[in-house]
Amino acid sequence: MTDPSQYVRRREKGARDVTYPPAPERLAVAVYDNHAHLEITDGEGLTLDEQLARAAAVGVHGVVQAGGDIESSRWSAWAAASHPRVLAAVAIHPNEAPAYAAAGRLDEAIGVIDELAAQPRVRAIGETGLDFFRTDETGRPAQFESFEAHIALASKHAIAMQIHDRDAHDAVLQILERVGSPDRTVFHCFSGDEAMARYAADRGWYLSFAGNVTFKNAQNLRDALAVTPRDRILVETDAPFLTPVPYRGRPNAPYLVPLTVRFMAAELGIDVDELSAQLAANTLAVYGEF
């Protein structure tokens, strides 16, 4: 692919409602979406410009666009270079690592990520990590190799790292303790519990909460949120996935961040403006200025 701007992925519609939810009330204090996949079209298929305009209209001033393979990482770097409201994270997703390894291309792929990470508006390596839900034991050695290589890249380029951790908490923590974590380590779409949140807080890591913190069956996330130091909390959409209640199942987008922010503020018992200001400050501390 010679022109990254032409890359696009489409999400399968299935039987779900694919209309975008209505815009929430604008936040008085602007925040940022710390993790989204805007190269994936969903629902009515908003363009990047339309996504960013909708977000800005409700007080979401920027998005960290995350890659998961060579093509989407190149697109993420292009989007960040082309739009002042976008910063990029680039990586080989743990579920993609086994396929690259099987094709004998994992080192090549990591080399591409290394090159992209040198660009000034690429501010994170991500999403990388481990996923034991979608990858069986035969693919795990490639995940381990890829994760450790990505940790090294984040440290080499002195940028943040966004961790994907699904059903692999213990293994992720063991690798971080053995290899060492980058200065700014973020658990994207945090999925652990209160104990893991305390463990992360003790090490100065950041926990990024997505729309699933609003789900009825996610008490573990609300417990984790309650004990996370305020200066280590981030908010994200993981768009187009994990749309917050009451629109669960419909397409997600950065303009829906205010729903999650207001829910989090209510859970923490603090003013929405106060939480928004803290979330914005935390984002800038991790990724730098947009």
pLDDT single digits (tens) 162-204: 999 999 999 999 999 999 999 999 999 999 999 999 999 999 9
At 14, the pLDDT band (50, 70, 90 cuts) reads confident
Average pLDDT of the chain? 95
The pLDDT of residue 11 is above 80: no
The pLDDT of residue 44 is above 80: no
> Which pTM value belongs to this model?
0.95
pLDDT single digits (tens) 86-96: 999 999 999 99
The pLDDT of residue 45 is above 90: no
State residue 137's pLDDT score. 87
The pLDDT of residue 10 is above 90: no
Domains of the chain: residue spans and CATH: 35-287 (3.20.20.140)
The pLDDT of residue 61 is above 60: yes
Average pLDDT, integer, range 97-102:
97
- Whole-number percent of the chain with pLDDT over 90: 90
Question: Is the dihedral angle over the CA atoms 96, 116, 112, 180 positive or is it negative?
Answer: negative
65 close to 88: Cβ distance less than 8 angstroms: yes
